[in-house]
Structure 1
Amino acid sequence: MSKLTHATIVPRRSSARGHADHGWLNTYHTFSFADYYDPANMHFGALRVLNEDRVAPGSGFPTHPHRDAEIFSYILRGELTHRDSMIQKGAEGKQGKQFYRMKRGDVQFTTGGSGIAHSEQNEHKSEPVHFLQIWATPWRRGLLPQYHTLSFDDKLKQKAFLPILSPLAAGENATAAEEKEATPKIPGTIPIHADFVMGAGLIGVDKRFKWRVGGPTDDVVKSQSDRNVYIHLPMTKGGNAKIRLDGREDVVLSEGDGAFVKGVNVGDELSVESIGEAEAEVIVLDSN
C-alpha cells in the first residue's frame, strides 16, 4: 500500500530510452545525450545525464574536455582507467585526488568547472566494463576543476541505502580553502556542487529498503520541499532483478527501468522492495 500519497511516481521504461551500439560502446540514455534528442526528457531537477554504458576491452573515450558539469562514474562490473588533463596514468589502489584504475564499488567524480580534460579507457584485455555515467548541473558556473575517487563497500550497500554523494558542506559561496578541503555534508561521501544526494543499495530478494528523501538528516540539502528523486535499476542480473516502489503495483521496475518520483519532501521515506529472483542493485539520485 502506498505511503506517499502526495507523491507522483512515473516509470521510465528501458525500452523507451535512447540506445546506440557503436561496437566498442553499447549505451543507453535516460535523458537527451549525443545524437539522442528527447525534448520531454532533458533533465530532472539537477540531474542532467544518466547513461548506462558497456565499453569493450581495449576501448574507451579518448581525451575530451568538460565544463560546468558535475560528472561521476559508478562502476558496476569490470575496470575503468581515468587519466587527467596531464594524461598521467592513474595510480592503482589510491583514492582521494589521485587517479587510478577503478573496479567494482569505485566511484570517480569530476567537477568540470572552468574546464578540464580527461579520458576513460577499458584497458582490460578481455573483459568489458559496465558503468553508469551521471551528470548533474552545478549550482554555479566557473568552479575550480577537481577530481575525487572513493570506494564503497558492497557489504554496506546490502544493509541499507549507502550515501555516495552529498553537497559540499561550505555551500555555494565556499572559499578557495573550503573548496580545497572538499568536506561533504555527509561524512564518507564525495562532495558535489549541487543540492543533490546520491545513494546505492543492494536489496536482497524479498527485502525492502527505505530511502529518506534529502539524506539521513534534515540539514543535508537546502531545498526542503518538492524534491525530484530518480530511481534507477541497472541491468546487472540478467533480467532477474525487479523492484516495487512505494508499494504501488503500477510502479514495478525491471532491469534498465527507472522512475521519476515527484512532489516529495525532506524526511519522506520511499519504500523500495526487491521482488525479483535476484538481488537488486538500486541507484537513487535525489535533487532539488
Structure 2
Amino acid sequence: MSLPQAKIVPRRSAERGAADHGWLDTKHTFSFASYYNPKHEQFGALRVLNEDRVAPGTGFPTHPHRDAEIFSYILSGELTHRDSMQKQGKESNDSKTFYRMHRGDVQFTTGGKGIAHSEQNEHNKDWVHFLQIWAMPWKKGLPPNYHTTTFGEEQKRKAFVPIITPLKAGPKASLEDEKAAIPVKDGTIPVHADLVFSAGIIPAGSTFEYKIGGDDYVSSKLDRKTYVHFPATKGGKAKIRLAGETVLSEGDGAYVTKVNSGDVLTVESIGEAEAEVVVIDSN
C-alpha cells in the first residue's frame, strides 16, 4: 500500500441513493432531494455528487440556486445549459448564458446571491450521462457567475488533469478579483472553496498517481478529504484499485482520509477496459 496511514472507505454503487423517474435515472452519493442518509451528508466541501442519465427531449426546467458551487462533468451525450433569460431554440456564443455541452465539457455555476438556470437534453434520440457535483463555498452572498471549459481526452489518458482549482484571490477576493476569476492554476476553472477537481482516463493495465492538494493548489495542507468517484461508463468492464488494496467497480466511490497535501494516491486500472476516474480533493 503506497499510503499506509490513509483510511479508504468504499461507497458502493448499490448502496447509493437511486431513483428512476423514467426520464431521469440517477444515483446520489450524498443526501439529495428525497434521498436522505445521515451517514452520507457531506465530505469536506463536497456536498452533492449525482450520476445522472437524462432522456432526450427532457431535463431540469428553470430552477434557482443559491450559495453553492455547482459543476457538471459530461460523460456522453449532450446537455444544454440556459439561464433564466434564454428561450428554447435561441442560440448564443456566450457560454455564460448558453452552452450546449458534450463529452469533455465542464460547466460551472457560482450560485452566490441567487441565479436561475435550466439543464435540458435537447438531443432528439441520445441520452446524456453526466456528473453533477456541488461544493459549499467559503463565503455566502457571492456574485453569481458561470464558466464553461472543454478538457480534451488526450491529456487525461496520460495523467490526472486538474480541472477546477481555488480562486487565487481567496475568501477575501474583491469584486474586481471576482470579475477577473483567476484560478490558482492557469487553464482551470476557479471555485470558491479550498478544492481541487481532477479527472483521468486510465488505460487498462496502467497506474496513475494523484497528488493530494495538487501542485501546491490548496491552502489547507493537513487532513485533506479526498473523494474518488468511478463513473459507470464501460458496462462493468472497467475496474480500479486504490493505493494497492481497495478495488472499486464502475459506479463505486471511496472516501480517502488521513492524507495530507503532497501525499500520493495510486489508482490502477485493473479491468478489461480503460477507467475514467474523477477525484474531488477538499478541506
* TM-score scaled by length of structure 2: 0.98
Q: Does 1:261 align with 2:244?
A: no
1:239 equivalent in alignment to 2:212: no
Matching residue within 256, 265, 272 for 1:270: 265
Match of 1:230 in 2: 227
SS at match of 1:237: coil
Paired letter, 1:254:
S
Tell me, what secondary structure is at the counterpart of 1:124?
coil
Quick one: structure 1 residues 206 and 91, their matched pair in 2 at CA, closer, same or farther if it must change by over 3 Å?
A: farther
- For the residue of structure 1 that corresponds to 2:210, the secondary structure is strand
Tell me by how many angstroms 1:178 deviates: 0.6
Q: How many residues align?
A: 283
Deviation at 1:94, TM superposition (A): 4.6
SS at match of 1:100: strand
After superposition, where does 1:107-256 map in structure 2 within 5 Å? 107-215=106-214, 217-218=215-216, 220-248=217-245, 251-256=246-251
With over 3 angstroms needed to count, the CA separation of the structure-2 counterparts of 1:232 and 1:91, relative to structure 1, is farther
**Correspondences of 1:70-85 after superposition (within 5 Å):** 70-85=69-84
- Indicate whether 1:40 and 2:39 are aligned: yes
Unaligned regions of 5+ residues in structure 2, if any? none
2:268 is paired with a residue whose SS is: strand
Q: Return the alpha-carbon distance in structure 2 between the equivalents of residues 213 and 37 of structure 1.
A: 29
What stretches of structure 1 of length at least 5 have no aligned partner? none
Contact 2:212 2:259 in 1 (8 A): yes
| 2:281 aligned residue | 286
Query: Percent identity of the aligned residues?
Result: 66
One-letter amino acid matched to 2:43: F
How far does residue 117 in structure 1 lie from its aligned partner after superposition?
0.2
Rounded Cα–Cα distance in structure 2 between residues aligned with 1:49 and 1:90: 30
Look up the match of 2:63. Answer: 64
Aligned AA (1:125): N
Shift of 1:141: 0.4
CA deviation string 1:16-38 (max 9, x = no partner): 00000000000000000000000
1:222–1:277 CA distance, 2 compared to 1 (3 A): same
Q: Would the aligned equivalents of 1:232 and 1:283 in 2 still touch at CA under 8 Å?
A: yes
Query: 1:19-58 maps to which residues of 2 (within 5 A)?
Result: 19-58=18-57
String of CA shifts for 1:201-227, please: whole Å, max 9, x gaps: 000000000000001x22x11110000
Cα offset, 1:97, TM superposition: 3.3
Give the TM-score normalised by the residue count of structure 1: 0.96
In structure 2, C-alpha distance between the alignment counterparts of 1:140 and 1:85, rounded to whole Å? 24
Deviation at 1:85, TM superposition (A): 2.4
Distance (whole Å) between structure 2 residues aligned to residue 163 and residue 116 of structure 1: 26
CA contact (8 A) 1:93 1:101 kept: no
Kept after mapping to 1: 8 A contact 2:83/2:97: no
Instruction: Give how far 1:87 is off.
Output: 2.5
- The match for 2:8 is 9
